[in-house]
Structure 1
């Protein structure tokens, strides 16, 4: 029998070299060079580096292949907690309710696709959960300071049903509440509840709410690492209180935030399961290393402006959560970031869209019928491994400091989250990280939110917050002046030449709530030019670099003579136009727009 592996390897190498040459050829055309002058490793310029320092290559091949992981349902559960042939494949559809929700709303949700119920705050559980079959519908509480009484009420309802529950979770989160400021019972009470739950069937007391870390700016590796550290501290507290290691592990559940970065997020969930299983192995109970892993569409990515775009973000996030192997996925309503929801929008509609996002992925896209859809992907497997290494390093650092509680007390957790948040904020401010409808493609014609709705959700550092604060200033200006703050454009040259930069300037200004007044091509010395110069105290010259060389200096002189206070140039310095500022891809857009609003009186 002939061994073909050598010939396959030669064929693979030949194809890989051909790809290198093809990429070099593209760079040669763009740079207008001879391909012989472009190195074959030019493809490395396409590498993107994550906030964790992980390099993401433009192409992954079998050269990146890793050793095959165990099948789903087998330690270390990287490929999923459910085994092949499990009765219920796919993931659960989670929906939250509170004291304002009715039993009819909850039962309607259960009859139309919702499978997991979360009850927030203090509610009349007997009335709200009337008719719920606990052996089929997992129920989780997020009751804050009212948890003890709510837990007692829930236990009474479960005990009245002559069947073991599918899963009951009390959701106590005393450690992560120290990070995001959410209400929670203290650790002593949580441990006491865990001891009670340990004597019950399929009942867990504690939630490691790592979404709290995401909400404060954690990177994916930090979210996992801090979750591991939190879980380890809970294990210490539970075993110190007399629970066995196995009992302690069985009292924990995790919740992770999933954003619209689909590959990173599904890799995050896979890495988190693998690493927690490793923790369970270290403490001597690997068979108890799998626990519920809840996913929630990340609050940080929600915008208040043009909230309809949140539907798209949530679809990608739900895909990542489900494909990543989460036990269940909660898609928050698209207008979650607006207090009370988007005005004139039905709450029933918002809930139905959120629920159906999950159902379309599960049923119509058939993702719920596939075991570990991402398994075997060269990129996903490689990225998961690298992310796990980075997350374990975060966990190890926290452990060396004495554990999660010690790290919180010393301020190192806050410092870590503050630093990561600032990196993300700076990238959004510079429009390196794109947030659709916020720092890219804003809609100035959108009806302004009422002033009482322009508030930030508690405990969340949203990506859109800084730009939306600028838009809030614009809305306030509109309410008092009848128009938005305006900046005049001075387009030089014909449309075909100035259109790129007038479009860029218009989009940039709009992201800060500033309306660009575009008169079309104007020529220095004409009445049209003089009229355009008087349209605003701030103007932006727009054109090609060639046009700047030919007429830019003349235009600047004319604008100075017309008394324009601030002259900006769409482009970079060094084009022969000594403007007061420059609008380009390298500026801190948020800071520049804030200064412009200040000058315009907004």
Structure 2
């Protein structure tokens, strides 16, 4: 046996991108190359291949402007990112206990959503003192996100710290002054952005000297993300908010560099894993460019970035899947180099999370850090042709949207004039269509639903979103799964009232082997709407099928089987079913050129992949008498 190494690496000539493209075009057999591209929100698309010709390794190392690779030279390798959970429970005592438990068991920072009905109701310093009773202020970053009185929490915090003997120099976190965010939530009649920034200017200046660990201003994307903005719009509008604060405080005598050093950013991370990594990297890049263009020094261009797992991606149905969603979103935030991360509990859509939900969320980050060692590498995404190019693509798209907002007069004007609401309406319509047709599937809701799942019992705290009295109604937070969950809720009410769920008789054609694949698919489709499938192994002829239907106790029949049997058997079977009282007969699969004949025979609707499943199931609910 030869001891000489095989020269495999040099035995074949290196293929070029052009060689690869010729082979791909040959295999596509006339289909366009674009058929291999995957569309993303914001008009972007993923390519099937990325090479060094597309994007190279960034020339700047981590810790150097424009901070694409992170704001610290060693990343978070020395201690990890900050595990900073968010709290919004309306009950002060319950939230106080949650803070104590989390900080004792791995939490490192706290993010407090303030003001009822959106968060913890802290009316004075005494209430804040109770809330922070178990929080060691000298070593725990505390972040506020108020909704109404934006300046009051800072006063309360200083009073609590002074009483506890903690100096301002020791305090860390952010005070959450975010008038644009409040404007988006409450409406123009309740928030004056310019006046709020003018009042905040002395605080911004004093904190830079007296409490350098505290950031006065918050730039949060929560309002956009929770209302369904695309990732590009969320990033662009967040940057536009930062620009608004730079200008507003400069008018009040604060330099752009000082203002930038006083800002805390907070972005939501959704379900598109790699694009979300690229978006957070693009956020640091673009903010560095904004501050540099405003005259800020390189050290003031570094973005303090908090990442939270998105609310819109979570579901009430089969909420255990939320654990997987939150894990993937947290993973993306960490790989993107977020300074602090908040992982939402799986039961958050059901009400105030309980101790188990918070524990699982907290431990998700601890496992990512301490067992998976994700903090051991600075900028693990760096150098990936795919992610570097995607970072650049998202940055360019967001910059174009930022320029559009600037042309309208800035983000405040875009809000007041209704431009943001218009874009969100269009975006939500497009996303609703993708969800309803299952082009954007939701596991446990629109895909693989568990019709008989036992509900997770939670102590619900109804928190209705407040609506402002401004010129334009603020965007309503929503979750992507809401349309289908409304059908499941209706099914539950029907079951509670009548003792049975709405049901469909499955008229399966052919042998078991012939109809099983399609009938299984249809059973899952019906379950998405809370409709129980009454399965049968088949029948000898149309008359026998109709007799089985007559005993089923439902008025809905779904014909399912191989396409080859449809032209001959569907018309006769429909007639037989309707003669036995079938009010609605549906056929599984696309009808093709048989649609006119089937409808003439009495078929009411067709269930197939790509159809507006929500509307079809809603129609079936109406015909089954489900309120």
Higher relative contact order (CA 8 A, sep 6+): 2
Give the secondary structure class of the aligned counterpart of 1:337: helix
Give the secondary structure class of the aligned counterpart of 1:164: helix
2:99 to 90, 102, 106: 106
1:34 corresponds to which residue?
Answer: none
- Provide the C-alpha distance between the structure 1 equivalents of 2:69 and 2:395, rounded to a whole number of angstroms: 14
Deviations 1:438-486 (Å, cap 9, x if unpaired)?
A: 1111111023589996978634221011111111111111111111111
Deviations 1:359-404 (Å, cap 9, x if unpaired)?
A: 1111111101111111111111111100111000110000001111
Whether the 8 Å contact between 1:210 and 1:223 is mirrored in structure 2 is yes
1:570 corresponds to which residue?
Answer: 588
Whether the 8 Å contact between 2:543 and 2:576 is mirrored in structure 1 is no
Gaps of 5+ in 1: 1-6, 28-37, 342-346
1:435 to 414, 417, 442: 442
2:153 to 145, 150, 154: 150
**Distance 1:222-1:286 versus aligned 2 partners, 3 A rule:** farther
1:554 corresponds to which residue?
Answer: 572
Gaps of 5+ in 2: 1-8, 115-120, 466-475
Give the secondary structure class of the aligned counterpart of 1:75: coil
1:120-135 map, 5 Å: 120-121=113-114, 122-123=121-122, 124-130=127-133, 132-135=135-138
Shift of 1:291: 2.7
Whether the 8 Å contact between 1:259 and 1:301 is mirrored in structure 2 is yes
**Bigger shift: 252-261 or 80-89?**
80-89
1:450-599 map, 5 Å: 458=465, 459-533=476-550, 535=552, 536-573=554-591, 574-575=593-594, 577-578=598-599, 579-599=603-623
Calculate the aligned-residue CA RMSD, in Å.
2.8
Shift of 1:131: 5.3
Give the secondary structure class of the aligned counterpart of 1:563: coil
Deviations 1:246-267 (Å, cap 9, x if unpaired)?
A: 2211221111110121101111
**Distance 1:212-1:152 versus aligned 2 partners, 3 A rule:** same
Whether the 8 Å contact between 2:77 and 2:375 is mirrored in structure 1 is no
- Provide the C-alpha distance between the structure 2 equivalents of 1:445 and 1:331, rounded to a whole number of angstroms: 28
- Provide the C-alpha distance between the structure 2 equivalents of 1:66 and 1:436, rounded to a whole number of angstroms: 36
Shift of 1:534: 5.1
Whether the 8 Å contact between 2:99 and 2:134 is mirrored in structure 1 is no
**Distance 1:170-1:456 versus aligned 2 partners, 3 A rule:** closer
2:398 corresponds to which residue?
Answer: 391
**Bigger shift: 89-98 or 185-194?**
185-194
1:354 to 327, 352, 361: 361
2:312 to 300, 321, 327: 300
- Provide the C-alpha distance between the structure 2 equivalents of 1:519 and 1:86, rounded to a whole number of angstroms: 58
1:170 to 172, 175, 191: 175
Give the secondary structure class of the aligned counterpart of 1:484: coil
Whether the 8 Å contact between 2:246 and 2:259 is mirrored in structure 1 is yes
- Provide the C-alpha distance between the structure 2 equivalents of 1:451 and 1:250, rounded to a whole number of angstroms: 41
- Provide the C-alpha distance between the structure 1 equivalents of 2:447 and 2:334, rounded to a whole number of angstroms: 28
For the pair 1:75 / 2:65, whether they are aligned, the reply is: yes
Q: Which TM-score applies when normalising by structure 1?
A: 0.90
1:374 corresponds to which residue?
Answer: 381
**Distance 1:54-1:149 versus aligned 2 partners, 3 A rule:** closer
1:314 to 307, 316, 326: 326
Give the secondary structure class of the aligned counterpart of 2:332: helix
For the pair 1:227 / 2:238, whether they are aligned, the reply is: yes
- Provide the C-alpha distance between the structure 2 equivalents of 1:454 and 1:500, rounded to a whole number of angstroms: 43
**Bigger shift: 148-157 or 170-179?**
148-157
Shift of 1:23: 8.8
Whether the 8 Å contact between 2:179 and 2:196 is mirrored in structure 1 is no
Shift of 1:14: 5.3
Shift of 1:96: 2.7
**Bigger shift: 202-211 or 305-314?**
202-211
**Distance 1:56-1:236 versus aligned 2 partners, 3 A rule:** same
Deviations 1:418-444 (Å, cap 9, x if unpaired)?
A: 111111111001111011111111111
Deviations 1:55-113 (Å, cap 9, x if unpaired)?
A: 20223233323352411111011111121276745321111345233655423322322
Whether the 8 Å contact between 1:260 and 1:317 is mirrored in structure 2 is yes
Whether the 8 Å contact between 2:113 and 2:145 is mirrored in structure 1 is yes
Whether the 8 Å contact between 1:214 and 1:223 is mirrored in structure 2 is yes
Shift of 1:142: 2.3
**Distance 1:57-1:89 versus aligned 2 partners, 3 A rule:** farther
**Bigger shift: 542-551 or 306-315?**
542-551
- Provide the C-alpha distance between the structure 2 equivalents of 1:389 and 1:238, rounded to a whole number of angstroms: 27
- Provide the C-alpha distance between the structure 2 equivalents of 1:290 and 1:318, rounded to a whole number of angstroms: 21
- For these two proteins, the number of residue pairs brought into alignment is 579
Give the secondary structure class of the aligned counterpart of 2:41: coil
**Bigger shift: 467-476 or 561-570?**
561-570
**Distance 1:335-1:23 versus aligned 2 partners, 3 A rule:** farther
Whether the 8 Å contact between 1:262 and 1:317 is mirrored in structure 2 is yes
- Provide the C-alpha distance between the structure 2 equivalents of 1:282 and 1:208, rounded to a whole number of angstroms: 19
- Provide the C-alpha distance between the structure 2 equivalents of 1:419 and 1:85, rounded to a whole number of angstroms: 38
**Distance 1:108-1:496 versus aligned 2 partners, 3 A rule:** same
Whether the 8 Å contact between 1:548 and 1:577 is mirrored in structure 2 is no
**Distance 1:442-1:180 versus aligned 2 partners, 3 A rule:** farther
**Distance 1:177-1:533 versus aligned 2 partners, 3 A rule:** farther
Deviations 1:6-65 (Å, cap 9, x if unpaired)?
A: x99x9442587368647965x6xxxxxxxxxx25x7664221111212120223233323
For the pair 1:283 / 2:294, whether they are aligned, the reply is: yes
